[in-house]
Amino acid sequence: MRYIICLIGAVFAMGMRGIAQDTGNGVLLSHYVFDQFQKGKVYFKSGSTQEVSLNYNTLTAEMVYEDGGKYLAMGEPEKVDSVVIAGRVFIPGDKKFYELLCRCVSPLLAEYSSSIKEEGSNLGYGMTSNTAAATTLRSLIQSGGAYSLKLPDGFQIIPKREHWILSGGQYRPANNTRQLNNIYTAKKEFITHWVKDHHTDFSSNDDLVALIQAIDKN
């Protein structure tokens, strides 16, 4: 039992690059998947489990847990099998976590990310600096600000959600009809008709789950 506790502590502590307390300053922004930290379970590949308050940070692409008002990034995610938060399953892969939407023949995954824009960062003519945004994000991570529930004033979060099919050990994009046709080459006609008949919204998790389940049954 003592070994399990030490292992869990190491997995969390090794990656606590940003430690921050929410001071109440700034504007509440949606750079986490959930509106608030929720009790969840971490299932380790060793067979052990840990219950802790969790959320997924879309800015840093890290699973974060809360401990006494502090927010710590989970380290060594390669030792984690899965994380369950509010009944939703997240699995590690490719240096981030994906939500497992469907345990289909080829699993359907959702990737949640976001970019940051600082007010006044325009270069003119509608242009912005990606370098400046990356530098700002690194500074927020180093200071721990990116882990707080609230970011400082003057920041805009631009959320993004992408869908992937895990096929043959590869993450293949599944965000439109063409991409799905590239994955399911023998079912192009079925996919085209389904999308048209059901008015599939490729930004909707539910619509994509229904489509992939239908493809498996066809």
Place of tokens 């590239």: 182
> How high is the mean pLDDT of the chain?
81
Please say if the pLDDT value at position 132 is more than 60: no
pLDDT digits (tens, 9 = 90+) for 13-60: 433 333 333 434 443 546 899 988 999 999 999 999 999 999 999 999
* pTM value > 0.85: no
Residue ranges of the domains in the chain? Answer: 1-57+68-91+114-161
**pLDDT attached to residue 174:** 97
Please say if the pLDDT value at position 171 is more than 80: yes
Please say if the pLDDT value at position 77 is more than 80: yes
Between CA 64 and CA 112 the distance in angstroms is 14
Mean pLDDT, to the nearest integer, of 136-156? 72
DSSP 10-45: HHHHTT----EE--S-SEE---BSSSS-EEEEEEET
**pLDDT attached to residue 80:** 96
Q: Work out the angle between the directed axes of helices 205-217 and 188-198 (0-180°, nearest 10).
A: 140
How sure is the predictor about 143, in pLDDT bands with cuts at 50, 70 and 90?
Answer: low
Please say if the pLDDT value at position 115 is more than 50: yes
Between CA 196 and CA 207 the distance in angstroms is 12
Between CA 77 and CA 24 the distance in angstroms is 29
What percentage of residues in the chain have a pLDDT greater than 90? 56
Structure tokens at 173: 């994009």
Between CA 115 and CA 113 the distance in angstroms is 7
